Amino acid sequence: MLRREKGTPNTMLPSPTPSDQPIARLPFYRQLYVQVLIAIAAGVAIGHFFPETGVALQPLGEAFIKLVKMIIAPVIFLTIVTGVAGMKELGAIGRVAAKAFAYFLTFSTLALIVGLIVANVVHPGAGLNIDPATLDVGKVAQYQQQAHDRTLTGFLLDIIPGTLVSAVADGHNILQVLFVAILFGIALTMIGERADPLMTVLESASHAIFKLVSFLMKAAPLGAFGAMAFTIGKYGVGALANLAGLVATFYLTSILFVLVVLGLVARLAGFNILHLIRYLRAELLLVLGTSSSEAALPSLIEKMERAGCRKSVVGLVVPTGYSFNLDGTNIYMTLAALFIAQATNVHLSLEEQMLLLLVAMLSSKGAAGVTGAGFITLAATLSIVPSVPVAGMTLILGVDRFMSECRSLTNFIGNAVATVVVSAWEKGLDRERFAAAMAGQPLPPTPDMEEVVAG
């Protein structure tokens, strides 16, 4: 059942039902975050003590990621179409999109600036005295080529799929799915009551797809176990030793960005960032174990709706945020670029650092939705800023896998905060339900979704 939110007669929200009463908490051993945590610990142990076995377990992680990616396109399509069509007003769609992109631009830029400031204060690459001529450029050639192939025109044209159904059928480009879903949702809004029969079908399909999500998420511990065992088995903890300063600086910077910057934003929006992190702990552990924020995208959509965020806002903000609100990736870009400059004894003037910042702002948007976006955008940035040798990327190639987890976690938290903030701006946040979720009170899933994660 759907109801119209008071004060916004054209916005559809789940109707309260008897099931909205607090439900019993599951035993700890049945909660997903506990299972994933145990799986990660087991994966680290296997990868460290039996590295060959750990590497051999890679298919477990890959299979789980493929299973999740299989359903990402229909999840996004159904969430956006039903959310946009439920608005009933085209002006509301544009208003939500404008607020979301204003938020993305502000905090993505701030993340780049934070990375730049920290690199100038800490100097993580100072004293390494690396000669760029001794570095093997071949190791990063593929990233240079991918960066070279990305142009603004190509990026914009790539958003338009070959056919209306190919975006969802193919499912590899989130931006194409987003584009088609928004257009289709707008079309349903424009035909009014004639869309009701199709909306009923789409809502039934949403029931089915989220039931499938809940089923697939039961395999999350297995996927996290295989992915973590492979990472430790292949790269080893020892790979961190030589560049421990860079890795530690990046992790600390990301933590400070989340707790201070996003924490302040959360405080202004009326909630505690630590409570949100606790609420999403199962998803965060899944991201940590698989090193992929996409692995938790369906769960994030479900959890944010269950916490009281308006469905239409969640449907627009989360998918677009996964492409345009990459706080962790942006911190990494400027921090890594200055690390390479410092390690190769290249002094960057203030003007050159401002150029680096400007180029990073543009290139980070141009590679949105591309696999390996962090390294590709870094290559694109360095290729335009001639002072910093692109060959220096080989210095961080060995530890990039360990920094990938932190990038994904920061990106994930940033998008969760953005969803709550934009919902609050739109007066589409059920404060009572949200407060209960942040307080750790067990809540049932929204009526049109099955529970994806427990805890």
* 341 lies in some domain: yes
pLDDT at position 311: 86
Across the range 421-432, mean pLDDT stands at 91
Length of the chain counted residue by residue? 455
242 within a domain of the structure (yes/no): yes
CA–CA distance, 436 with 421 (Å, rounded to integer): 17
Query: Residue 12 domain-assigned?
Result: no
Q: Structural domain of residue 283, as residue ranges?
A: 26-438
pLDDT average, residue stretch 365-373: 52
Domain at 146, CATH number: 1.10.3860.10
pLDDT value, residue 447: 47
Rounded Cα–Cα distance for residues 339 and 331 (Å): 12
- Other beta carbons within 10 angstroms of residue 406's beta carbon come to 21
Looking at the domain assignment, is residue 6 inside a domain?
no
Question: For all residues of the chain together, what is the average pLDDT?
Answer: 79
Radius of gyration from C-alpha coordinates of the chain: 22
Query: Considering the domain boundaries, does residue 454 fall inside one?
Result: no
Total structural domains within the chain: 1
The token pair that represents 117 in the structure block: 């400031």
Which of 146-150, 191-195, 296-300 has the weakest average pLDDT? Answer: 146-150
pLDDT tens-digit series, residues 101-160: 999 999 999 999 999 999 999 888 877 777 766 665 555 555 555 555 556 676 678 778
**Is 2 contained in some domain?**
no
Give the pLDDT score at 18.
Answer: 38
**Given this model, what pLDDT does residue 287 score?**
87
Distance of CA 408 to the CA centre of its chain: 6
Q: Work out the average pLDDT over 53-68.
A: 87
Higher pLDDT residue, 376 or 320? 320
Task: Evaluate whether 181 touches 77 at the Cβ level (below 8 Å).
Answer: yes
Instruction: Give yes or no for residue 455 having a pLDDT over 90.
Output: no
List pLDDT tens digits, range 301-356. 889 999 999 888 898 898 888 888 889 888 998 898 898 888 888 888 888 888 88
| pLDDT above 90 as % of the chain | 22
Percent of the chain with pLDDT strictly greater than 70: 80
Q: Which of 443, 210, 434, 408 is nearest to 327 (CA)?
A: 408
Average pLDDT of span 25-31: 67
Per-residue pLDDT tens for 390-400? 777 777 876 77
Q: Is the pLDDT of residue 229 over 60?
A: yes
Angstrom distances, CA of residue 135 to CA of 138, 140, 344, 386: 9, 10, 10, 17
What is the 3-state secondary structure of the chain? CEEECCCCCCCEEECCCHHHCCCCCCCHHHCHHHHHHHHHHHHHHHHHHCHHHHHHCHHHHHHHHHHHHHHHHHHHHHHHHHHHHHHCCHHHHHHHHHHHHHHHHHHHHHHHHHHHHHHHHHCCCCCCCCCHHHCCHHHHHHHHHHHHHCCHHHHHHHCCCCCCCHHHHHCCCHHHHHHHHHHHHHHHHHCHHHHHHHHHHHHHHHHHHHHHHHHHHHHHHHHHHHHHHHHHHHHCHHHHCCCHHHHHHHHHHHHHHHHHHHHHHHHHHCCCHHHHHHHCHHHHHHHHHHCCHHHHHHHHHHHHHHCCECHHHHHHHHHHHHHHCCHHHHHHHHHHHHHHHHHCCCCCCHHHHHHHHHHHHHHHHHCCCCCCHHHHHHHHHHHHCCCCCHHHHHHHHCCHHHHHHHHHHHHHHHHHHHHHHHHHHCCCECHHHHHHHHCCCCCCCCCCCCCCCCC
Terminal C-alpha separation, the chain = 25
Alpha carbon distance 115, 254 (integer Å):
9
pLDDT at 446 over 90: no
For residues 258 and 327, what is the distance between their CA atoms, to the nearest angstrom? Answer: 9
Judge whether residue 3 has pLDDT over 50.
Answer: no
Q: Is 254 exposed, middle or buried (0-12, 13-18, 19+ CB in 10 A)?
A: buried
Evaluate whether 67 touches 216 at the Cβ level (below 8 Å): yes
The pair of three-digit structure tokens given for residue 376, joined into one six-digit string: 């590709």
> Poorest-confidence range of 1-10, 333-342, 361-370, 426-435?
1-10
Q: Read off the pLDDT of residues 380-421 as tens digits, 9 standing for 90 and up.
A: 777 777 778 877 777 787 677 778 888 889 999 999 999 999
Q: Are 236 and 61 in contact (CB under 8 A)?
A: no
Residue with the larger pLDDT of the pair 86 and 249: 249
Please report whether residue 53 resides in a domain: yes
CA distance 50 to 181: 46
65 falls within a domain = yes
The C-alpha atoms of residue 310 and residue 428 are separated, in whole angstroms, by 5
Confidence of residue 167 (pLDDT cuts 50, 70, 90): confident
**pLDDT attached to residue 113:** 93
Other C-beta atoms within 10 Å of 263: how many?
Answer: 18
